[in-house]
Amino acid sequence: MPIALAIATLLVIVVSSYFQTIRAYPKGGGAYIVARENLGLYAGLLAAAALLVGYILTVAVSISAGVAAITSALPALYPFRVWLCLGLIAFIMLANLRGVRESGTLFSVPTYLFIFSFYLLIVVGLVRYFAGGVPVARAKAVAIPTVQPVTVFFILRAFASGCTALTGIEAISDGVPAFKPPEAVNASKTLLWMGGILTSLFLGITMLAYLYGVVPSKGETVVSELARIVFGNGPLYYLIQLATVLGLTLAANTSFADFPRLSWFLARDRFLPRQLMNLGDRLVFSNGIILLSVLSSLLVIVFHGNTHALIPLYAVGVFVSFTLSQTGMVRRWLTRREGKRWWLSAAINGLGALTTGMVMVIVAVTKFAQGAWIVVLLLPIIIAMFLEINHHYRAVAAQLSLEGVQELPSLSASKVIVPVAGVHRGVLHALQYARSISTDITAVCVDVDPAVTERVRERWPQWVSDIPLVTLPSPYRSTLEPLMDYIEQVEQNNGPDDVITVLLPEFVPARWWHHLLHNQTALLIRMVLHYRRNTVVINVPYHLEK
Task: Provide the 3-class DSSP secondary structure of residue 501.
Answer: strand
Binders of its own copies among residues 485 to 524 (CB under 8 A) are: 499, 507-509, 514, 516-519
Q: Is the Cβ of residue 171 or residue 430 nearer to its own copies in the bound state?
A: 430
373 binds its own copies (CB under 8 A): no
Q: Is the Cβ of residue 375 or residue 487 nearer to its own copies in the bound state?
A: 487
Q: List the one residue from 408, 465, 489, 496 that touches its own copies (CB under 8 A).
A: 408
400 binds its own copies (CB under 8 A): yes
Q: Is the Cβ of residue 354 or residue 538 nearer to its own copies in the bound state?
A: 538
To its own copies, the closest distance from the beta carbon of 496 in angstroms equals 14
> Are 33 and 271 a contacting pair, CB within 8 Å?
no
CA distances from 272 to 31, 268, 294, 375 (A): 17, 8, 17, 19
Q: Which stretch binds its own copies (CB under 8 A): 101-109, 198-206, 375-383, 403-411?
A: 403-411
How many Å is the maximal CA-CA distance in the chain? 106
To its own copies, the closest distance from the beta carbon of 423 in angstroms equals 7
Instruction: Find the helix or strand (DSSP H, E) in which 538 lies.
Output: strand 535-543
To its own copies, the closest distance from the beta carbon of 91 in angstroms equals 25
To its own copies, the closest distance from the beta carbon of 176 in angstroms equals 23
Query: Binding string to its own copies for residues 220 to 259, with x set by CB under 8 A, is what?
Result: ----------------------------------------
Q: Is the Cβ of residue 35 or residue 431 nearer to its own copies in the bound state?
A: 431
148 binds its own copies (CB under 8 A): no
> Are 159 and 189 a contacting pair, CB within 8 Å?
no
480 binds its own copies (CB under 8 A): no
Quick check: bond before 181 cis, omega within 30?
A: no
Distance CA 299, CA 85 (A): 11
Q: Give backbone dihedrals phi and psi of 478, rounded to 5 degrees, phi first.
A: -95, 140
Distance CA 70, CA 77 (A): 8
503-516 burial: b if 16+ Cβ within 10 Å, else e: bbbbbeeeeeeeee
Q: Give backbone dihedrals phi and psi of 24, rounded to 5 degrees, phi first.
A: -80, -30
Ramachandran sector of residue 272 (left: φ over 0; alpha: ψ -120 to 50; beta: rest):
beta
Q: Is the Cβ of residue 222 or residue 427 nearer to its own copies in the bound state?
A: 427
Q: What is the DSSP string of 55-102?
A: HHHHHHHHHHHHHHHHHHH-GGGGGGHHHHHHHHHHHHHHHHHTTGGG
Distance CA 370, CA 314 (A): 12
CA distances from 53 to 23, 296, 515 (A): 27, 10, 43
Q: How many residues bind its own copies (CB under 8 A)?
A: 65
Q: Which stretch binds its own copies (CB under 8 A): 31-39, 53-61, 228-236, 525-533?
A: 525-533
To its own copies, the closest distance from the beta carbon of 226 in angstroms equals 41
405 binds its own copies (CB under 8 A): yes
Which residues in this chain contact its own copies in the complex, by CB under 8 A? 273-275, 278-281, 389, 392-393, 395-396, 399-402, 405, 408-414, 422-426, 428-429, 432-433, 436-438, 463, 476-478, 499, 507-509, 514, 516-519, 526, 530-531, 533, 535-546
